[in-house]
Structure 1
Amino acid sequence: MASEPSWDDIFGPGSLTPSTPATTPTPTAIATSVADPGEPAPLSRRALREGSDGGAGARPRKKKRRGRGPWGWIIAVLVILGLVTAGGVYVWSNYGEKIQEVLGIAPPNDYEGAGNGEEITIVIEPGDIGSDVAAKLERAGVTKTFDAFYALLLEDSSITFEPGNYKLQKEMSAAAALEALRDPANRIINRVTIPEGVSAATALELIAASTEIPLEELQAEAANFTQFGIPANSPSIEGWLFPATYTFDPGVTANGAIKMLVDQMYATLDAAGVAPENRLTVLTMASIVQRESGPNLEDMPKIARVFQNRIDRGMLLQSDATVHYGLGDMSSVWTSPEERADASNPYNTYANPGLPIGPIGLPGADAVNAAVGPADGTWLYFVTVNLKTGETVFSNTLAEHDRAAKQLYAWCEESDENAAYCG
């Protein structure tokens, strides 16, 4: 990174300039900072670390569910009165699920039929397991619930999924969705969707799965990344492939496919006003913002601000996402004290100050724009309190952050579906 311009060189004094290194994190607490000695760093939005509720990756004890409270009586009255009056339809449409819960009537957790005709592309990434696929289908509106699809997988442990892009419909029954994913006719050829935040290695595998280009050829061309105009001080092609949906002509070469993605990333950086000599620094920050963010785009500039504020105060970034990238293991969002203390990992932002040596994934346009223009704010902490919706709490103080972290612990324990997001 010695030859890479500083953040001040890019955006002027007072921006994301690495400050005096903070003290190295210890296994017994989260790293202290120069600006705030003894104060732990923030929990990542996607991972729990040591802090107010036990050791790294610790799960809270299950708590007894509270009673239904006055809702039960209120809704019971609404049922009796509403259903025998002209307002019955309104009551049921607005409170139907709650009424069913109070009366002990389980609402259906599955759609019927093969879909509503609205086509949607589902991307199965290399390494996706059953719970990953179940979560993707629910989020995309293909299946009604996580449980409906996941239950089918539990019944047959032999079910596996091939990486690639698949054509499905919204509002499919779980059984219909499973059948569609296992039908080669639904696999999309010569069109590939590269999700934001995935690694370059995953992008190459998805291209190979959707074209006739051998993966080995793609990997060989990517290893020679300077041929695409990528600076030699970049550790690899990581970060330089723009995530989007591409349609390739039949017979496209490995070089041609990669060049298409790199050129699109250049166009995105140019549109954001990033000079060519500053691209690597911006992509590195943008990739962390992308990996740490959820589905709520408005959070990205806030996350960029948190990292900028921490660097400005001489605090370590302490991103679990960077640690995992350096370990080559993206299967978990949890880090251990030993992993966080390993300064030999050049992507470990717990043990090493400033930005890591390069990008940790493929950022989209929103993440690039957030890195260039962080939101205004004084936050030093953030944690996602609902990993399904991406609801995130940003805090200025450790006390505020601890309260938010407890919300996440509690959410993870509420159901098996929630626990699947917390693994």
Structure 2
Amino acid sequence: MARRRRPERGVSAARAGRGAPLAKAPRRGLWRAGVLLVLLGLVVFAGVAYLQVTARPDGNPATVDVQIPRGASRDAVVRLIEGAHLTEHPTALDWVLKLSGAYAKVQAGVYTFPGNADALKIADVLKLPPAPASQLSLTLIPGETVWEAADRVAALGIGSADAVVALAADHGRVAGLGVPVGPPRDPRPDGVGQTYLEGFLFPETYFLDVDATATDAVERAVAHFATVWERLRTRWRSDLLAVRARYHLSELDLVTMASLVEAEAQDPGEAARIAGVFYNRLEKGMRLQTDPTLMYRSDRQGRAPTKADRLDATNPYNTYAIPGLPPGPICSPGEGALVAALRPERHDLLYFVAMRDGTGRHAFAKTLQDHNANVDRYLK
């Protein structure tokens, strides 16, 4: 029987009749490389996750107290802990709290964490009963509406959101708190109740007794607004008098202007410039045409305005369809926006558009032609 010849050196295996297995070798190599890359990615992911879960904060005191309000959501719990500088990795903490079952154990009260606690230790602490809170903490945010403030009050368990909204709609009660509400307003054609409290719940953190009521919370916020507003009016008295005389504005109008500035000025450094644009447009008889006014309805919060919204003349807050300022504020202005309303930047700008580049800043223009060019550049 003839012996099978071995391929000569330098002769390919394909020529020797053994080509099929070697033809598949590159595919097998690619498959193995892909598996290795996936495994490597899993190792890296696991390593990063481990580092985030076991990361310990620096610079904290020995212990850190965090108050969890009644009805706090999972997201709120993580944000409160993050706000106390106990974690820089909220997503990793969220996963740990889910997987450990800590979320199911969280109660309203004060939790005391070691200042250097990692995510695992935070989960352990949250599984224990908290200390009863000696005070309730209410934080009102600049730019939020009275409806959002009502939800924050309700989250403390000291009253319902509906009760706060009903108080806000009561002209006599709000006027009794010292708010310059102006005359009673006609019912809104869109069916949304009036909100005389809007703009006068000063954004700040308030500490309330555990037996406080929703009315107590409202009175505290209104009283603090009055204190801040009086301080600003005294400090900038000449500016206040000049603005009121030049534009024929009431106290309510000034706070309304501040709320428009707050709603538009994502970058605080632009507040006075934006106020200047609004004042320039008022002086020239131009409509303010500011989008946040279109959305000042409890059923429109959080969505973008539409063309129909801009054409809706039944909305008394529609600054596209109706000239002048809206009937009242559209949100809670912070101190910076209040100052901007008193001390607007002097310029001849009439338009601005959001640049949408992540900075929160705007492109300003003197002419409609330049403004349209900015719109084409940043919005199309």
TM-score range for the pair, normalised by the shorter chain length:
0.5 to 0.7
For 1:354 and 1:244, the matched residues in 2 are separated by 29
Q: 1:393·1:404 contact (CA, 8 Å) conserved in 2?
A: yes
Whose Rg is larger?
Answer: 2
Spell out, residue by residue over 1:157-193, the C-alpha distance to the aligned partner (whole angstroms, 9 max, x if none): xx99x9x999899999899999999999599761111
Q: Does 1:370 align with 2:346?
A: no
Q: TM-score when scaled to structure 1?
A: 0.55
Matched residue, 1:339: 309
Tell me the secondary structure at the aligned position of residue 289 of structure 2: coil
Q: 1:285·1:371 contact (CA, 8 Å) conserved in 2?
A: yes
More helix by share: 2
Tell me the secondary structure at the aligned position of residue 222 of structure 2: helix
Residue 353 (structure 1) shift: 0.6
Query: 2:208 is matched with which residue: 248, 251, 260?
Result: 248
For 2:162 and 2:117, the matched residues in 1 are separated by 36
Q: 1:284·1:355 contact (CA, 8 Å) conserved in 2?
A: yes
User: In the TM superposition, what are the counterparts of 1:21-420 in structure 2 within 5 Å?
Assistant: 112-113=54-55, 115-116=57-58, 117=60, 185=130, 190-222=136-168, 223=170, 224-230=173-179, 231-233=181-183, 235=194, 236-273=196-233, 278-294=250-266, 296-326=267-297, 328-332=299-303, 334-379=304-349, 380-387=351-358, 389-398=359-368, 400-402=370-372, 404-405=374-375, 408-409=378-379
Q: 1:144·1:171 contact (CA, 8 Å) conserved in 2?
A: no
For 1:171 and 1:386, the matched residues in 2 are separated by 36
Residue 293 (structure 1) shift: 1.5
- Structure 1's 140 and 386: CA in aligned 2 closer, same or farther, altered over 3 A? farther
For 2:296 and 2:370, the matched residues in 1 are separated by 29
Could you say what the CA RMSD is over the residues aligned between the two structures, in angstroms? 4.8
What amino acid sits opposite 2:212 in the alignment?
V
Spell out, residue by residue over 1:377-412, the C-alpha distance to the aligned partner (whole angstroms, 9 max, x if none): 22222324334x4233333344554554466558xx
Q: 2:112·2:125 contact (CA, 8 Å) conserved in 1?
A: yes
Q: How many residues align?
A: 296
What amino acid sits opposite 2:255 in the alignment?
L
Q: Which has the higher contact order (CA 8 A, sep 6+)?
A: 1
Q: 2:310·2:321 contact (CA, 8 Å) conserved in 1?
A: yes
- Structure 1's 255 and 307: CA in aligned 2 closer, same or farther, altered over 3 A? same
For 2:109 and 2:353, the matched residues in 1 are separated by 33
Tell me the secondary structure at the aligned position of residue 352 of structure 1: coil
Q: 1:383·1:401 contact (CA, 8 Å) conserved in 2?
A: no
For 1:322 and 1:372, the matched residues in 2 are separated by 20
For 1:357 and 1:256, the matched residues in 2 are separated by 26
Q: 1:114·1:171 contact (CA, 8 Å) conserved in 2?
A: yes
What amino acid sits opposite 2:330 in the alignment?
I
Residue 256 (structure 1) shift: 2.5
What amino acid sits opposite 1:284 in the alignment?
T
Residue 265 (structure 1) shift: 1.2
Q: 1:166·1:181 contact (CA, 8 Å) conserved in 2?
A: no
- Structure 1's 378 and 226: CA in aligned 2 closer, same or farther, altered over 3 A? same
- Structure 1's 381 and 176: CA in aligned 2 closer, same or farther, altered over 3 A? farther
Q: 1:239·1:284 contact (CA, 8 Å) conserved in 2?
A: yes
Structure 2: gaps (5+ residues)? 1-43, 185-193, 234-239
For 1:175 and 1:407, the matched residues in 2 are separated by 48
Q: 2:150·2:160 contact (CA, 8 Å) conserved in 1?
A: no
Matched residue, 2:188: none
For 2:276 and 2:217, the matched residues in 1 are separated by 34
- Structure 1's 219 and 317: CA in aligned 2 closer, same or farther, altered over 3 A? closer
